[in-house]
Structure 1
Amino acid sequence: MSDAVTDTASSEAEHRRQEALEVSGWGERFEFVQPHNLSFWVYIALTAVGAFQAWAFFAPGAGFYAEGFAVSAVLCTLCGLAWFAWFRHIDRWERQPGRLVAAALLWGAIPATFAFAMTVNTAMLSIYPKLFGQAWSANWAAGATAPITEEAAKLCGFILLMSLAPRLIRTANDGLILGAFIGLGFAMFEDFLYAANATARTFGTDPVGNAVHMSLTRIAVSFVSHPLFSALVCAGAVYLIGTKAQARKVGRGLAFVAAGVFLHFTWDDATGLGGGNPLLLFGVMCASVVIAFTVLTIAFRRAAPREYQFVRDILAPEVDAGFLTDAEVDGVLDRKARKAFRASSPNRRARKARKHLRRAILDLAHDIASAKGADTEAVRHSRAEVERLRAEDGIRQPLDS
């Protein structure tokens, strides 16, 4: 009877794992080249248009301002790499495949920036002064244009990526992470565009100084920029569309999309909202920063439970076999449980081991997903790493030891 109960529990745990892998898409590979998918050709065509537009914009001045352009490119790239490393660090649940991340970055950098946003923004910004005057345009034109055109441009790329990777992009967390990468590509090239324009506007006078000044100015405010805006918009889009893994929630989706657009507006039109008063301008920017990170935190917390459930289900057979405990899995997912687990360590070495144990358990979940639940060499290696960390100074030994 006991063996029958055990077999039933094991069967249920395996069923939970396989269902989670099917619904979540964890461990799926991404193939960018899809000749039979229309979205692939749309992506390629718009990227080609963006590349042509970028060449047409930069090529005439490249020879005259090469030094300033080079300095700007280096500074903007270094900033972008720092943010890239951070985004990869927080991509802790379903790790987005490198090719999918590259496609997101490329869309933000080339098609969204040059095929869409720059073309439409230039046209609109030339119309506003004629309709409303120079004073109004100086304060409000950017916010009346960019939040709509630029967020729509980035969102178009995200929709294309959803159709190219329908089994990978399924949750709001996927929208947050990939939206951030799309926004990062956009921000890097927009920052470079501003720096290049600053060099060209002075007709080559102190090109390096102007390039450095503008690049550092843009970098200084990059913590509230396109990655944050598009992360919210793309997460909202996932809620609006709904997927096999994410229930459709229209109200929440509209709220996150509106939040991304609104925050973009407050950042672009901070001068107008400040009414020309430097102190009020500073207050507007501070308020925008606080609201931005508050909404972003809410977005991640709303997205987390779905990812938590996937982790629990993927690791269910490991818990059922006694290799992991529910408390250890809770320590991976729950902040309070994690702090309590580390605080109960008998010494510093054990605290350090328990800190790394969380990452090791997540690595095990990722390796199981990549193996589709099979007992591969990578899975066995991850189990061995969990055992090694657990064995150090007072951490619970596996039940079968």
Structure 2
Amino acid sequence: MTAPHHPPASHRRLNAGALVDTQAPVGVDGFFQPRRAAFWLFAFFLANGVFSMVSNFYLGYRVVPTAVLLATLLWTLYALPFLLFFRSLDLFEQHPPLGFAMAFAWGGFAACYLAIPLNTAVESLSSKLIGPQFTADWGPALAGPINEETLKILGVILLIMIARTQFRTILSVVVLGAMVGLGFQIVEDLLYSVNTAIQFPYTNQVIPVGLMLLVRGVITGIWSHALYTSVAAFGVGYFITRRHMPLIRRTAVAIGAFALAWFLHFFWNSPWLQNIGGDGISGMAVLSLAKGIPVLAVGYLLWKFAGHEEGSQLRIVADYYIDDDLMTPEERDSLTSLRERRKMRRHLKKTHGRKAARTLHRLQRAQLHMIRVCEENGAGIPAARAAQDITALRTDLDAATT
């Protein structure tokens, strides 16, 4: 865990008083880094990916315009609950939202653009070397994990190389991976929807889109690319944040996490257990549960570990920079845990109503935001402005509870 930079004693704690002098940043890189090769690699493949995907959708639009428009709308709406879930975890206050947007774009455009020809090449090679039947059964289990997991984790690594100090905890990298995977999942599903509509034996353009939403969204979408890539990203996060650990251990964890993500993807795409639920939608749902629950369990455990480490880092920064008038000892204890933050809100809702609970939630998010600002910039003007926001929200909270 990276310890925060320690400012001079006179600036060590920030209260709600006057603005303090600007401190030198604790260490945070922006995402515009034209002097770094990683920035240009990211921009090159992203630009090519955007051009390729837009071209594909335009060609599809000329054939099945209703399907393209409907699929775009539905899969956009489908992504919203995932983003709201991340929002409910207060992650956008703790980590840079721009980095998450760039991660989503990499997964949705660059990784998809690169994966399409590579998957075709792997399956073609498999068919020639082993046989068409083997490729039909095992091709997706080989091509998907090999190409897609590599391309997705490459996006995570490039973003970290671009903004090296933006991602200081394991959780920040895990969420970065989840956003890459979510972007890949949404755009891939959109492509499947359009291609299915083109190949659909009837002229109806709505039914194939609905079928894809049911199969790839409702039945299988919960345990998909977002989880795989977050598992692989856990290893990258461990590698870059555990600098005090031996290099061989950090490398082993990074390789092991990627291998685990690869296996989870392989297990999902493989024909194993394919007869467990029988035929039809119900059989597909049973198979999805049988394969998906282990994936979900692994993801939950890694996210829980990363969240615990994140809480420890939050407490270190809060104790070092922020005075009790902005963050009471009770609030410090609760801010390190999502469960404790929610527990405080539930208690306040019972005693003082929904409005007070919502105000407390806004206060908690402002406090988390201030912790990130302090860690990035020290006790400078941005932190003082965040302190003023907290003071105003605390006044609103006092009014809501009296």
Structure-1-length-normalised TM-score: 0.80
Alpha-carbon distance between aligned partners in 1 of 2:397 and 2:189, rounded to the nearest angstrom: 44
Alpha-carbon distance between aligned partners in 1 of 2:56 and 2:308, rounded to the nearest angstrom: 45
Instruction: Say which SS state the counterpart of residue 165 (structure 2) adopts.
Output: coil
Aligned pairs for 1:53-132 (under 5 A) are 53-55=52-54, 57-92=56-91, 95-114=94-113, 116-132=114-130
Alpha-carbon distance between aligned partners in 2 of 1:22 and 1:263, rounded to the nearest angstrom: 44
Conserved in 2, the CA contact under 8 Å of 1:239 and 1:246? no
Alpha-carbon distance between aligned partners in 2 of 1:349 and 1:386, rounded to the nearest angstrom: 15
Q: Which amino acid aligns with 2:176?
A: L
Conserved in 2, the CA contact under 8 Å of 1:170 and 1:246? no
Q: Aligned residue for 1:385?
A: 393
Please state how far the C-alpha of 1:198 moved relative to its aligned partner. Answer: 0.6
Please state how far the C-alpha of 1:319 moved relative to its aligned partner. Answer: 6.7
Conserved in 1, the CA contact under 8 Å of 2:67 and 2:206? yes
Q: Aligned residue for 1:267?
A: 268
Alpha-carbon distance between aligned partners in 2 of 1:346 and 1:42, rounded to the nearest angstrom: 49
How big is each residue's C-alpha offset from its partner over 1:309-339, in whole Å with a ceiling of 9 and x where there is no partner?
A: 3322332257755654433311222467667
Conserved in 1, the CA contact under 8 Å of 2:276 and 2:287? no
How big is each residue's C-alpha offset from its partner over 1:278-320, in whole Å with a ceiling of 9 and x where there is no partner?
A: 3597665323322222212211222123322332233225775
Please state how far the C-alpha of 1:15 moved relative to its aligned partner. Answer: 7.8
Conserved in 1, the CA contact under 8 Å of 2:180 and 2:226? yes
Aligned pairs for 1:158-169 (under 5 A) are 158-169=156-167
Please tell me whether residue 333 in structure 1 is matched to residue 336 in structure 2: yes
Q: Which has the larger radius of gyration?
A: 1
Alpha-carbon distance between aligned partners in 1 of 2:97 and 2:141, rounded to the nearest angstrom: 33
Please state how far the C-alpha of 1:369 moved relative to its aligned partner. Answer: 3.9
Conserved in 2, the CA contact under 8 Å of 1:105 and 1:184? yes
Q: Which amino acid aligns with 2:264?
A: L
What is the identity percentage for the equivalent residue pairs of Structure 1 and Structure 2?
Answer: 26
Change (3 A) 1:42 1:344: closer
Change (3 A) 1:29 1:40: closer
Please state how far the C-alpha of 1:104 moved relative to its aligned partner. Answer: 0.9
Q: Aligned residue for 2:351?
A: 348
How big is each residue's C-alpha offset from its partner over 1:200-253, in whole Å with a ceiling of 9 and x where there is no partner?
A: 223663222222222332111211111111111112122234466999734443
Please state how far the C-alpha of 1:12 moved relative to its aligned partner. Answer: 9.8
Q: Aligned residue for 2:30?
A: 30
Change (3 A) 1:93 1:326: farther
How big is each residue's C-alpha offset from its partner over 1:174-212, in whole Å with a ceiling of 9 and x where there is no partner?
A: 111111111111111100111111112236632222222
Alpha-carbon distance between aligned partners in 1 of 2:96 and 2:241, rounded to the nearest angstrom: 22
Name which of 285, 288, 312 aligns with 1:285: 288
Aligned residues: 376
Q: Aligned residue for 1:297?
A: 300
Alpha-carbon distance between aligned partners in 2 of 1:24 and 1:257, rounded to the nearest angstrom: 31
Instruction: Say which SS state the counterpart of residue 203 (structure 2) adopts.
Output: coil
Alpha-carbon distance between aligned partners in 1 of 2:349 and 2:205, rounded to the nearest angstrom: 59
| CA RMSD, Structure 1 to Structure 2 (Å) | 3.5
Please state how far the C-alpha of 1:380 moved relative to its aligned partner. Answer: 1.9
Please state how far the C-alpha of 1:56 moved relative to its aligned partner. Answer: 5.2
Alpha-carbon distance between aligned partners in 1 of 2:244 and 2:327, rounded to the nearest angstrom: 25
Q: Which amino acid aligns with 1:157?
A: G
Q: Which amino acid aligns with 2:314?
A: V
Conserved in 2, the CA contact under 8 Å of 1:24 and 1:245? no
- Between 1 and 2, higher relative CO (CA 8 Å, sep ≥ 6) is seen in 2
Gaps of 5+ in 1: 1-9, 395-401
Alpha-carbon distance between aligned partners in 2 of 1:377 and 1:177, rounded to the nearest angstrom: 27
Change (3 A) 1:333 1:61: closer
Gaps of 5+ in 2: 1-7, 16-22
Q: Aligned residue for 2:234?
A: 235
Alpha-carbon distance between aligned partners in 1 of 2:106 and 2:170, rounded to the nearest angstrom: 20
